[in-house]
Amino acid sequence: MSRASHINEDGTLVMVDVGAKPATQRSARARAEVRFGAKAAAAVRDLTLTKGDALVAAQLAGIMAAKQTAGLIPLAHPIPLSSVDVTFSWEGDRLLIDADARTVAQTGVEMEAMTAAAIAALVVYDMTKALDKGIVVENLRLLRKTGGKSGDWQPS
């Protein structure tokens, strides 16, 4: 049975040593979803929130969060990000938040993409919670990753 990469044989936590790995191009896309009632969804779409444009705030927060991933996730490596993009689309009253991260490094950017999507979703929640107490942030997940020793991945 294989064990998680951040656990030693004795069960202690360890930051994975990536020092001998070559720096390669890597990318990842993650998604989070925010499910609204119709009133809150309309307010976000129509820019009628009293706090301002929730999507602009969420986009900036997601980008900033990706850059702070190593400070938030205890065993994540600080990596040089070459780009982070946070975009939005709608499926009915459900907001889809996609975060893309890229780097040339010795380890991947999955955690940076996931952090960006999660924080962007939380900012949208924060800016709309006064309109609807039933807003749900859900389905945070990795959509794809490229590069590195394990190669490309996307869900089947």
Task: Report which of 32, 31, 30 is spatially closest to residue 125, judged by C-alpha positions.
Answer: 32
pTM of the model as a whole: 0.90
Q: What is the sign of the dihedral through the CA atoms of 135, 141, 146 and 149?
A: positive
Angle at which helices 54-67 and 110-128 pack, to 10 degrees? 150
The confidence score (pLDDT) of residue 1 equals 42
Active site positions, annotated:
126
Arithmetic mean of pLDDT, 137-147: 97
For 22-68, how does the pLDDT look when each residue is reduced to its tens digit (9 = 90+)? 889 999 999 999 999 998 898 888 876 666 789 999 999 999 999 99
Share of the chain residues as helix, strand and coil, in percent rounded to the nearest 5: 30, 30, 40
Strand-strand pairing, 81-91 and 94-105: antiparallel
| CATH, domain 24-143, list 3.50.50.60, 3.40.50.150, 3.90.1150.10, 3.30.70.640 | 3.30.70.640
